[in-house]
Structure 1
């Protein structure tokens, strides 16, 4: 067994006081060395550790603390022992218990800057992901056998068929609300008949597709993010890359195609159900029979309104699918990230859908589709 830790003082070259440590400077063999060092009141110019047999972190800390208090130089170590002492010295830094206080203006400005930088990084990542999706789509076109038909059909059911109930109910109620609110306002001018114009045009042109996109983003976009995020955590996506399967072709492309194909159908379905809901309210509240209601719809709603909705729908579907898949692929670390990225996917998709819808409104107004 190695000797217990000890020290002795003598005069070195030039008469300077040197404290020489001997034995084992480890936790098990320190004994009362720390207390004896505290009681030592002699002047010390340097600390010599050349005769130390072994030293651990606790021993290095005891030596460093003593040398720091006496402003003495530590010598005599080499190799791993010197590296250990250097690490202890580097770690001996004051700990700030509270962050420095900043003015409210600087704090808010910093948060705005961080949010802007994060938004810019997300936008660039989303553009990169969109490009990767287009590349995968081109690869599938060149090699049709790589197209995953069964996976795409399954996404058709998840995105479209399973959503018919909730989208139909939502659209029916929205149609009733639009008709009721429009009738209340138009009654003041004796123009209740124009409620039909309001219901027909706003549902086919705007609300049918827009509300469907919001519902699909909350329902399917979140599901895409959660599914891919969970696969990231369980390393299934890494395993797919290892065996030579492209995650973009196997996971992202079927979901994107399903959303693009089904959004026009769901948007048209939503518009028709909303018109039916508005027609029922006009029948019961305004005494407008269904035959007259349908005839009026055919007169006042131009075919361009239907085209506007059908053109916007696949773009909205692509945005929702790409945003959901992108956020799902960004999951790293722990299960909490799945929830955070799922929320980000829904918020990002809805925000971009509304922004793109505003651009479409300006564009169609410029080309005369109003």
Structure 2
């Protein structure tokens, strides 16, 4: 079979014959993707000069036509979403009229522009759409969470299904590589809390209580919060980007084709890495924050390190440490679930990847703050 080339095609032509109250377009030649480029300007001029109801198309002299040619021939005949009228065609052609109508019927004509202004109706519409989107996101996240827990439980019951090599590698990426930045931030947070506490409490002659302030705030809140926020900004975005890029390149679909469960291969190792490393990072953040408070207390209040540590041990109850550590695995689980879910939702374009990565970080930080508030209310009611 000889392949058809542009040399075997006849150049298209479009003649315009004026009539009573309208015009007839006489198409001739081959209207295919290889030949129609030169006709674009003439077709646009005709579409601008006449209304679709004033035109008819004579297809009796038309040669070969494909969907591209049908799209261009039908451009002057289209009127919004209304189907092309059968009476608009003249002459006989085996496929032109049907192809033009089919192309028009399957076109996406776009959504009509929204009316300008900020009326009450539009405000309520936008508010309702936003609320619906939030509820859908929450529902999908709970569904993803349940699916992940089911897969994780099945893997734990059969440890041979766990992928230890990527899990250990992710532990290094999530935990060890993040340790310097988390420790540095926690150190400065502890130093700032101690400096502000010393400045305020010294006014009342109670500067020594700076040790208590640093101990409670770092052990109970700041250590775990700094860790969770850094995980959300650093690791969560990496999870979404890595899974999303695999989704764009159809690697996730390829996993399903060869019989691999993407949740077991991609999601479970990240969940385990975050849940295991979050408490260890939180412990490092607490130690760094206390060290920052110790240095500031030593410099500004002349509190020796030995006295700082002694008072910290005698005054600060271990429950504050346990409260902070109890939040860490929960934060790690939530952060991993959100990052992996957003990665699985990435579409086929780079814009979708960017939007999902941004949404991943924002949602993770938001949920960390909300869950921390719920923990605070729960421990307050339990008097812990």
The verdict on a shared fold, with TM-score over 0.5 as the criterion, is yes
What does residue 359 of structure 2 align with? 344
**Per-residue Cα deviation, 1:36-69 (whole angstroms, up to 9, x for no partner):** xxxxxxxxxxx8979767696466677899xxxx
Distance 1:80 1:148, change over 3 A: same
Residue deviations 1:297-356 (CA, integer Å, cap 9, x gap) = 112211111111111100000011111111111110212222221111111111001101
Question: In 1, distance between residues paired with 2:362 and 2:27?
Answer: 65
- Counterpart selection for 2:221 from 164, 184, 206: 206
Within-5 A mapping of 1:82-97: 82-84=97-99, 86=101
Aligned to 1:295: 310
Q: Does 1:147 align with 2:162?
A: yes
SS at match of 1:188: helix
2:244 alignment counterpart: 229
Larger of the two Rg values belongs to structure: 1
Instruction: State the Cα distance separating 1:95 from its structure 2 match.
Output: 10
Instruction: Map Cα deviations across residues 164-206 of structure 1 (whole Å, 9 max, x no partner).
Output: 1111111111110000011111122111111111000011011
The answer for the alignment partner of 1:359 in structure 2 is 374
Distance 2:102 2:210 in 1: 78
Task: Flag the 1:306–1:63 CA change in 2: closer, same or farther, 3 A.
Answer: closer
Mapped to 1, the partners of 2:139 and 2:121 lie a distance apart of 27
**TM-score, L = length of structure 2:** 0.77
Mapping for residues 18-167 of structure 1, pairs under 5 Å: 24=28, 57=70, 80-84=95-99, 86=101, 99-167=114-182
Structure 2 partner of 1:250 = 265
Gaps of 5+ in 1: 9-18, 29-33, 35-46, 66-71
Residue of structure 1 equivalent to 2:4: none
RMSD of aligned C-alpha atoms?
4.0
Number of aligned residues:
346
Superposed CA offset, 1:259-304 (max 9, x none): 1011111111111110111011111100111111111111221111
CA gap 1:76/1:254 in 2 versus in 1, 3 angstroms: same
TM-score, normalised to structure 1, is 0.80
Q: Distance in 2 between matches of 1:364 and 1:129?
A: 28
2:335 aligns with 320
